[in-house]
Amino acid sequence: MTETPNETPAIVPVILSGGSGSRLWPLSRSAFPKQFLSLAGMHTMIQETALRVDVPGYGAPLLVSNREHRFLLAEQMREIGVAPRAILLEPVARNTAAAVAAAAAVVAEADPAAPLLVLPSDHVIDDVPAFHAAVARALPLARAGALVLFGITPDYPATGYGYIRAGAPAGAGFAVARFVEKPDAATAAAYLAEGGYSWNSGMFLFRADAILAALAEHAPEVAQAAAAAAAARRADLDFEVLDADAFSAAPSVSIDVAVMEKTDRAVVVPAALGWNDIGAFPALWERADKDCKGNALLGDVAALDTEGCYIRAGERLVAVVGVKDLVIAETGDAVLVAAKDRAQEVGDLFKRLADADRIEAEQPLLVHRPWGTFKSVDAGDRFHVKEIAVSPGRRLSVQRHHHRAEHWVVVEGTARVLRGEEWMMVYENQSVFIPIGMVHCLENPGKIPLRLIEVQSGAYLGEDDIERLDDVYGRAVPEPT
C-alpha cells in the first residue's frame, strides 16, 4: 500500500461489511450476502470497494465485519492482494453507529487526527476518478473538524433513498440544512425540480477524534460501549474481536440518526459518481445489458415473447413464455419469481423464510469455509450427499460426530486422513469410512484442490452435530465444520 508522503496522516478507509442484502435473495443469503458476490463487475462488491481506495493517499483499509463472515472476507482480500490494516469483528450486530465508533476508537489509538473515509461494502461507483475528486474536495473540510457526508447528485426522482437538503456554502460543500426520509414520487420529483437536494450515499469523511467527540455528545451510550469494546478487544488469528459484553451494551442505531441528524458540524459534498447501492433487483436490471425487448438474461435462459424482465439462471435452464416485467432468479436450491415493481418486497419474503428457519435463507447452495467449500448434491431420509473441495495446504478440524457416519470418495487430488489414531493417504478413486463417534480429520497436502464426495448417513445429519477437538482456525462448537 502506497501512501503519499505529504499527505500525513493518510486517509484510513473504514469499510463496513455488516449488511445482509435480503432484497437480493436468493442470490444473497445471510451466510453469503451481496457484498461477497460479483453482481456489478469482475470482482465482488467488497473487493471493488477495497480496490477503489488502494491508491496513493489512502492507508490500508480497516474492515468491520461479523464473526461469521471473517474467513470469507479475509480470503476475498487475499485474492486481490489487499492487506487490511485490521479486520475488526463485531460480536453482535449493532448498526453503523457502533461500528463506526469502534473503528474510530481503534484508529485514534495510533492517530486521533487520522481522517476516516467510511464506506459501505456493497455500493457501485462507476466514475472512480470523480469519487477520488470528491474525497479530495472534502478532505480540507474533514481536517478542519467537519463531519462530511457525500451526497449523490440525483438524476431521477428516486423514492428508495433518503435526501439531504443543502444549506449555506461551506468550503467545497454545504452545511446540512435537513435530512429527509424516503419521499413519495411526487415529493421526490419536486426535490429534483427545486435543486439543492442530494441522495444520502451512506459514505462519510471525518477525523477520528471529531466523530468520537460527536458521538460522545449526541450518542454517549454508543460512544462508551464502543470505546470499552475496542479497549478490551482481543486478537484471534488475523482478526481483532471486539469485547462482546461491552459492545452488546451499545444501542442499535445508524450513524445518521445517532449523530448526523443532530450535529451542527455536518457538511454535504455533492458529487455525480455513477453511484448505486444495488438495493434490489431493479438496480441490477438497470445496469445489465438488455436485448431488443428490454430483457436482461443471464445464464442459461430461453425466453419467448418476453419483455422487460430480469432473468438469472444459476444451476439450471430457465425457460419463460409470454411474461412481462418480472424478476426471476434461480440458484439451484431456490427460485424467485416477483413482479419487478414489487421487488423491494423480496426483503419481507426473506424475513418470512428466516423466521421459519428455512436453510435457503441462511446458506447458499455452495457453502464457503476457511478450508474450501462444500455443496449439497442430494439429501433424503437418513442420508446427505455433499461435494467437498479442500484448498491446497488446508485442513478441516479434528472432530467427531455423535449421530452420523461419513463415507469419503476422493475424486481429484490426494487426501491425508486421520481415522481414529491412524493417519493415512487416500488417492483418487479410493475411499475411506468414518464410523459414528470416530475422531477424524481431513487435509489436502497437495498442490491442487482436493475434491471428494461425502455420503453422510445416520439418524441426525444437522451441521451442528460436531464435537470439535482441535481447529487451526480457532472455531468452536456449534459453528459448523
Average pLDDT for runs of 10 along the chain of length 481: 50 92 93 92 94 96 94 94 96 95 97 97 95 97 97 90 94 94 90 92 97 98 97 94 97 95 96 93 94 97 98 96 98 96 94 93 89 91 96 95 97 97 96 97 96 96 89 68 48
The model carries a pTM of 0.89
Is residue 262 classed as helix, strand or coil in its secondary structure?
coil
Q: Is the peptide bond before 9 cis (omega within 30 degrees of 0)?
A: yes
Residues 6+ apart with CB under 8 A from 116: 11, 12, 13, 14, 100, 103, 104, 107, 204, 205, 206, 207, 208, 211
The predicted pLDDT at position 476 comes to 64
Residue 204 CA to residue 14 CA, distance in Å, equals 10
Residues 6+ apart with CB under 8 A from 460: 403, 404
Closest CA to 19 of 30, 27, 10, 9: 30
Residues 6+ apart with CB under 8 A from 247: 90, 91, 92, 94, 98, 102, 225, 226, 229
Q: How far apart are the first and last CA of the chain?
A: 34
The predicted pLDDT at position 6 comes to 43
* C-alpha grid cell, residue 30: 445471510
Residue 144 CA to residue 142 CA, distance in Å, equals 5
The predicted pLDDT at position 462 comes to 86
Q: Where in the chain is the domain with CATH 3.90.550.10?
A: 12-276
Distance of CA 479 to the CA centre of its chain: 19
Sole residue written with cell 453482481: 39
Is residue 156 classed as helix, strand or coil in its secondary structure?
coil
- Looking at residue 68, what DSSP letter applies? G
Burial (CB < 10 A; 0-12, 13-18, 19+), residue 232, is middle
Kindly report the CATH number that applies to the domain delimited by 365-470.
2.60.120.10
The predicted pLDDT at position 5 comes to 39
Residue 29 CA to residue 149 CA, distance in Å, equals 29
- Alpha-carbon dihedral angle through residues 94, 100, 103, 108, given to the nearest 10 degrees: -140
Q: Where in the chain is the domain with CATH 2.60.120.10?
A: 365-470
What letters, b where the CB count within 10 A reaches 16 and e where it falls short, cover 264-292? ebbbbbbbebebbbbbbbbbbbebeeeee
- Looking at residue 383, what DSSP letter applies? E
Assigned CATH class of 12-276: alpha beta
Residues 6+ apart with CB under 8 A from 209: 108, 112, 113
Secondary structure E strands in 144-243:
147-152, 163-170, 173-180, 197-207, 234-236, 239-241
| CA dihedral over 453, 459, 463, 465, signed as positive or negative | negative
User: How crowded is residue 257: how many other Cβ atoms within 10 Å of its Cβ?
Assistant: 16
Whole-angstrom CA distances from 168 to 46, 153, 266, 404, 470 are 35, 17, 12, 68, 61
Residue 64 CA to residue 97 CA, distance in Å, equals 12
Residue 328 CA to residue 306 CA, distance in Å, equals 12
Burial (CB < 10 A; 0-12, 13-18, 19+), residue 472, is middle
| Bridge partners of residue 326, in order along the sequence | 339
